[in-house]
Chains A and B, each alone.
Chain A
Amino acid sequence: MNADFNTVKRLVLKDWDLHQKPIAGYCGLGILGLAILGYPHAWAFYMGCVTLLTVMIAAGFHAISTTIIGEKKEQTTPFIMSLPVRPSEYVLAKVIANCVIFLVPWCVVVTGVVFLTLTTPIPNGILQFLVLMCVLLIMNYAIVLTVTVVSESEGLSIFFMVLVNLLLNPFIMLTLRNPEFYEHMESDVVYWSPTALVTIASMLAIAFVVVGLGLWRQTKRETFI
């Protein structure tokens, strides 16, 4: 890939600068979700989980929608491409910036979830399920990001976002019916089942491969408009 690191860095910093407020907002909402999750009642646990899922999904789609689709719709892409920037640098910077913008609130949420699970009355055995859900959101995000980078289509982006997030419910149901998960849910001991570890590794691998393939395809382009 023909790309100048300094150019990519400038473009990533530009997107970071443009999205500092939304990132801070999603981090704030994530902390609110964690506070609810930590409240010692069953309803608070479920409400906290739903809040955290919503925050992570929204953070990911907000980033994609504003940095990729928004830049195209608001016609700021010609401004960037009039600078000494290669299409490959533009695409690489978009993918890195989006990943960073998504992963900051994601890391806040995951760190908080792990901390709360280990330090509050929430049973430690549920940790593998919670981490699995968070990693699933990374895979979903990677798929929507790649579709958007490759297609540059708002319609396809929304379609895939809805599609991958519709898979959340069946995924949760299947996981909770698996004895490797439900038998350890109420346990005070952190347990990592082989299925959980393989699933986490597989989802991360899929996320890397999908983003890598999208990058490989798009960075071969000679023009971007």
Chain B
Amino acid sequence: MTDVIQMRGVAKSYQNFQLDHIDLTLPAGEIMGLVGVNGAGKSTTLRILMGLIAPDSGSVNVLGHSLPEQQVEAKRDVGFASEDMRLYKHKNLAWHMNFVQSFFPSWDNRYAQHLAQKFGLPLDQNLKGFSHGQRVKAALLLLLARRPGLLILDEPTTGLDPVARSEVLEELAEVLENENRSVLFSSHNTHDVEQLSDSITFLHDGRVLASEDIESFLEKWRCVRCKGDIDPQALQSSNLAEFRRSGSLINLKLDNYNDSTAAWLQSKGLEVVEVLRMTLEEIFIANVKRGRAQ
């Protein structure tokens, strides 16, 4: 399987923020969620992948094209939408469709009309009168109708009401059934990511904290409730993300949990009361806390 995205040691410095030697790989046909809090570096990473920002160092390759030098060749088969991207408010959707169509021979007008109908988007109304949800859907329509091989979406569901969010996610899920299409999308909403993604990359403070498929994350992380009295220092391990006392119980959030972990805890004098699976959101928060501590 070839990689549609390869980032190697990509760094970018701003006055108050630094993207710190990011390595990221997206195999063809895979859907990856890029998860991080605001300011983690998600948008900067995606803009570098679109050739909109040049990295200070490192290499970026998208669909076999080196960026930013070969950005036009790469962008011919990439659909990009970001939360802060705006369309021309004094023009209607039909005008935007004609404009975008002129750049893409692959434009599927029938599909564009279908999406407009499905999203309930009027073609002849100026975008100034569109709600935020309608603008997001319009941007998605404009990129999906190009039938791109790679979708790069920066916070596609941010600010949407529950109905619009559900419609956007449904349409994305439908589009993603096409196995030839690869997707990288950023979000701070782990529910959206869980719904769509094959794999997740956690980004925090300009660094990649972890990158794996969803099943591996869910399989490796556990919340363990124990009884006993122990100094947290005695449990120091790279696998321990969180130590919290709650009454007589101790809550531990552990990475790389396996059969021997319970025995290790018992050897430290702890009685394991309960071992719980963690949600992606809990895993994300635990990763961020561990990243901060490091």
A-side interface residues toward B, CB under 8 Å? 4, 7, 10, 14, 17-18, 74-76, 78-79, 81-86, 222-225
Contacts and interface: CB of A to CB of B under 8 A. Distances in A.
B53 A225 contact: yes
B85 interface: yes
A83 B100 contact: yes
B114 interface: no
A82 B103 contact: no
A71 to B, nearest CB: 9
Contacts of A223: 51-54, 68
A86 B99 contact: no
Contacts of A14: 99
Most chain B CB within a 10 A radius of its CB, from A79, A82, A83, A224: A82
B100 to A, nearest CB: 7
Contacts of A10: 99, 102-103
Mostly, the B contact residues are loop
A4 B72 CA distance: 10
Contact of B47 (A7, A75, A225): A225
Interface in B138-197: 139, 143
Given A82-B81, A84-B75, A86-B71, 20 more contacts: A4-B72, A10-B99, A18-B91, A75-B86, A76-B86, A76-B87, A79-B87, A81-B50, A81-B52, A82-B50, A82-B52, A82-B75, A82-B85, A84-B72, A84-B103, A85-B72, A85-B103, A222-B54, A223-B53, A225-B47
A127 B88 CA distance: 42
Interface residues on B, range: 20 to 34
B69 interface: yes
Interface in B79-114: 80-82, 84-91, 95, 99-100, 102-104
A86 B72 contact: yes
A76 B71 contact: no
B84 A18 contact: no
Nearest to A225: B52
8 contacts: A81-B52, A82-B50, A82-B85, A84-B76, A84-B103, A85-B72, A223-B51, A224-B52
